[in-house]
Structure 1
Amino acid sequence: MKKINSIFEIIKREINWIITDLDLIAMFLAAPLFYSFFYGTMYMNKVEHEVPVAVYDEDRSSESLNLIKQLNAHPSIYIKEELNSLDEIDKKLFDEEVQSVIFIPNDFSKNLKLNRDSRIKIYLNTHRFLHSNDLNKAVNEVAFSKGEEIRVEYFLSKGFSDEQAKELANPLKDEIKLLFNPSESYGDFLIPAILILVLQQTLFMGLGQSMAKENETKRFTELKTLSGNNPLVALSGKISFYLILYFAYALVFFSVHLSVFKIVFRGSYSAFIIISVLLLLSISLMSLIIGNFFSKKVHALILISFTSYPLFFFTGYSWPTFAMPTIAKAIGYLIPTTAYMNAIHRIVSMGANIGHITFEIMNLIIINAVLFILVLLIFKRRFLKEHQANQ
C-alpha cells in the first residue's frame, strides 16, 4: 500500500510539473491534438481527382474528339486546355501548368478506320510520381476501353451478335480483386502512420524533456525520497501518467480521427490495445534513457526532434523492408515503432487479430524488457549517487 501511495505522489508531482511548465503543456496537451488533425487534413481527399492535363490533337477528327471526351470523363483526368503546337509541351510540363500532355497524331482516325495499330503519346511529369502513376493508369484505362469499343464495332460489322462481338473483342479477361484498400487511397495508407508519428514524437520529446528537467532543476532527489529509495516505484510513478494520457490519445486517434477521415478500422481492438500499450511503454522508457544524458530541457528537445524522420524511414513504412539494405532492416527491428507500424497497418487495413501479430508483440516485449532493465539500472545508479552526495 505504501508503494502504491508513493506512485500516486510521483504521478501528482508529474501532473504539477506539466501544468506549471508551458513547454510541457504545449508538448503533452496541445501538440498531439493539433498535429494529428492538422497533418491528417492534408490527406483528407485521400485520392487524386481531376489532375490537370493538356491535349495536342493533330488529327482533329471526330474520333480524336470522342477520345478527348472520354479522357475528360475519367475522374482522374481534367482536360485543362488544348495546345496549338508541339513546342508548347515542354514549357507546360516545366511550368507545371499541367501534369501530363496527351499527343494524338494526325493519322489516328485513319489507322482506326483501316484497322491498323493506332497510337497516342503521353508526356508525363514523372517528377511528381504520384500524379504520373495515376495519370498513366487512367489514360491506359480509357485507351483499353476505346480499343475494346472499336473491336466490338468491327466484329458487329462482320455479322457477329452483340454477345459474340464482346467475347471476341476481349477474349482474355482479368479479374482483379483489390484487398485491404479497395479505393487505392493514399490517405488510407498514410494517415494511420501520421497518427502514430504524432503519438511517438510528442511523447518522446515531452517525456525526454521531463527527464532532462530533473537534471536541470536538480530535483531527482525528490524521486528518490517519494519512492522510498525504490527505483521500480520511481520508474512506475514517473511514466504512469504519460502512459494513461497517451493511451487515451491512441484510443481517440484510432476511433474519432479515423472516423473523421473516413477510414474503416477492420481489425481487433484487443490486438490494438495490447500493441499500443507495448509501444507507449517502450517510447516512455527510451525517453527516460535519452533525457537522462541532458542537463537542460532544450538540449533534449533539439536532439529528439531530429529523430522523427530517421525512425520513420527505418520502419519500412515508406519504403518496403525487402528493398532496404540488411543493416537498415536490422536497425529497424531495434526500433519499437517498426513493429508497431507493421502491426497497426495490418490491424486497421487488413483486419488482423492478436494471432496475426505475434511476431510484432514478441519484438516489442523483448525491446521493452531490455529498455526496462536499462532504466532501472540508471535510476539505481542515480539513487546511489544521490545517497553518496548527501553523506
Structure 2
Amino acid sequence: MKFADTFRQILAITKRESRLILGNRSVLLLLLAGPIIYSFLYTSIFVSKIQRDVPVLVVDNDNSEMSRSLIRHIDAHEAVAVRSWQKGMPDIRSEIYEMKYMAVLIIPHNYSQLIKQGKQAKISLVANNSRFMIANDVLRGINDVISEIAENSVVQYYQNKGLNNKRALSLAEPVRFDIRSLFNTTEAYGDFIIVGLLALIFQQTLVVAAAVSIANEREERSLGLLFHKASGSFFKIITGKGILYFLLFSIYTFFFFNFHFFIYKIPINGSMLLLTIVTEMQIIVLFLFGCIVGTFFRQKLLALIFLAFMSYPIFLLSGYSWPQAAFPEFIRIISYM
C-alpha cells in the first residue's frame, strides 16, 4: 500500500511538471524545439566534414613538363585546388592578405634540372596559418604529393643505376610507417566536432531546463505545495520531475544516435548498447546537477542567464577542444570538479 501511495505521488508530480512545461512557452520551446533546431543548425555547418579544394596559387618558375606534372598532382589532391599558376614572383603578402589563396607554392627555376641530376630541389610554400586548420589541410595535402613524387624520383634514380624495383623501393624508403587509425579513420574534423556539438546541446538544454524548473518553483513560492504533494519527501519531488526529463531526453538520445549519426555517417566502433547506457546515466546526472544549480536562484531568468554564461567555460574545461593534460595545474584541478 505504501509503495502504491508513493507511486501515485510521484506520478502526480510528473503530471504537474508536464502541465507547468506546457503552460510555459519559453521552457516548452527550450525542451522541444531547442535540441532539434540546434542540432540541425549547428551540425549542418560541418556537413562536408573534410575541408576540400582550398585555393592555392602556384608560382612555376621552372615551366617544365616535370613542374607541370607536379602541379597536376597537387591539384588532384582532394584538399587542394590550384586556382592559378604563373611565372614570376607575385606580391605574396597581398594575395594572402586578400584571402584569395590560403597558400602560395613556389617552384624554383632549376627544379627539373636538379631532379634529373639526382639532387635535392627546394620548393617553397608560404601559408596563411592564421586559419591553422585549413592551413594544416593544405600543408598535409601538398606534403603527401611531394613526398610521393620524391619517392618515385629516388626509385627512378636507382632503377637507372641498374637496381630492380624492390631494391630501389627499399633504398628510397628504408623505413615505412604502418599507420592504423582506430577511431575517426578518415581524420575528418566533422566527425570530431559534430559529436561534441550534439553532446553540448544535449547537456545545456537538459541542465537549463532542470535549473529553470527548480528556480521557477522558488519564484512562484510553490515549493511548500510541492513538498505537501510529496509528503515532505525530496526524493519523490526529484523523481517525479526527473521522470519527464528522463523520458524526453531518452527520445533525443535515440534520435541523435539513429538519425544524426546516420545522416553524417559518423562511425561507432564501440558498443551502441554501452554508449546508450552511459548516455542514460548522464541524463540522470545532468538533471540532478541542473536541480542543484536551480536551488541557488529565486528567479528562473537568473538561472538561465547564469547557465548561458557558464556554457562556454564548461565546454572548454571538459577537455574536448583542448586536452586537459595541457591545462595549467590550477585550471586542471577546477576541470575535475
TM-score bucket (shorter structure): over 0.9
Q: Distance in 2 between matches of 1:264 and 1:239?
A: 31
Match of 2:7 in 1: 4
> In the alignment, which residue of structure 1 is the partner of 2:56?
53
Equivalenced residues, count: 334
In 2, distance between residues paired with 1:275 and 1:251? 13
Q: Which residue of 1 is the match for residue 330 of structure 2? A: 327
**Partner of residue 172 from structure 2, selected from 169, 180, 188:** 169
State the 1:85 CA deviation: 4.2
Moved more, 71-80 or 283-292: 283-292
Q: Offset at 1:84?
A: 5.0
Deviations 1:163-189 (A, max 9, x none): 333333333322221221211111111
Alignment partners' CA distance in 1, 2:144 and 2:110: 22
Of residues 163-172 and 207-216 in structure 1, the stretch that sits farther from structure 2 once superposed is 163-172
Most deviating of 235-244 and 83-92:
83-92
Higher mean Cα deviation, 121-130 or 149-158? 149-158
1:219 is displaced (CA, Å) by 1.7
Task: Find the counterpart in structure 1 of residue 240 from structure 2.
Answer: 237
Give identity over the alignment, percent: 32
| Structure 2 residue 317 is the aligned partner of structure 1 residue 314 | yes
Counterpart amino acid of 1:272? L
1:159 Cα deviation after fit: 2.4
Cα distance change of structure 1 residues 163 and 268 upon mapping to structure 2, 3 Å threshold: closer
Give the corresponding residue for 2:110. 107
Unmatched segments (≥5 aa) in structure 2: none
Q: For 1:1-391, what aligned pairs fall within 5 Å after superposition?
A: 1-83=4-86, 85-334=88-337
Q: Which secondary structure does the structure 2 equivalent of 1:128 belong to?
A: helix
RMSD: 1.6
- Rounded Cα–Cα distance in structure 1 between residues aligned with 2:184 and 2:276: 23
Distance 1:182 1:286 in 2: 35
CA distance in structure 1 between the partners assigned to 2:53 and 2:238 by the alignment:
54
Partners of 2:288 and 2:167 in 1: how far apart?
Answer: 68
| TM-score w.r.t. length of structure 2 | 0.94
Alpha-carbon separation, structure 2, partners of 1:176 and 1:228: 62
C-alpha deviation, 1:202, in angstroms: 0.6
Unaligned runs of 5+ in 1: 335-391
Displacement of 1:83: 4.3
Cα deviations by residue, 1:357-382 (Å, 9 ceiling, x for unpaired): xxxxxxxxxxxxxxxxxxxxxxxxxx
Which residue identity lines up with residue 192 of structure 1 in the other structure?
V
Structure 1 stretches of at least 4 aligned residues deviating more than 4 Å after TM superposition: none
| SS of alignment partner, residue 316 of structure 1 | coil
Q: Secondary structure at the match of 1:182?
A: coil
Which sits farther off after the overlay, 63-72 or 85-94?
85-94
Partner SS for 1:26:
helix
Worse overlay, 307-316 or 267-276:
267-276
The structural deviation recorded for 1:68 is 0.6
